[in-house]
Structure 1
Amino acid sequence: MTDLPADDQLRALVRQALAEARISQAEIARQLGLSTKHLSHMLTGRATLTLTWAEGILGLCGMNLQISVQPDQARSAA
């Protein structure tokens, strides 16, 4: 998964959290005040999944969003 761009990684992790929490997209959308269509678009990349929306979705799945900044190992070795 680390070869994917960061936005694709985030979407994949959010989709995985939804599956593991066994919460439907319809329920998440209802609780966040979104249409199911827009939520689906965010999870598939047709709409932007912001960190704020990701945090809200993950929170409803019982998870926290944490962001880490680390040096690029390839650049550090060069």
Structure 2
Amino acid sequence: MFLPKYPDSPTPPPAHTHTAADQVLARRPVPQVSVNTGAVAALLVGGVVLTALLAAVAVTAVSVAVAAVVLRSLLRDQHRR
């Protein structure tokens, strides 16, 4: 069978050559993060305190809304008389 003859062409050089600097940048160490029990306890206490404050604000808002409805009802009944 006849095979076409291709011209001899050298392999083109790679577009990007890896240097030692490229490898150093890729392998930089990740800083170690140590978590101690005091930090965890402080975070938990802060979360509990913030949750309690949020609950207190919600309860206060509901109680103010109920008081406003009751006062409105009382004032409306007084205007009718």
Regarding TM over 0.5, the answer is: no
Higher relative contact order structure (alpha carbons within 8 Å, sequence separation ≥ 6): 1
Q: Highest CA radius of gyration, 1 or 2?
A: 2
Task: Give the structure-2-normalised TM-score.
Answer: 0.22
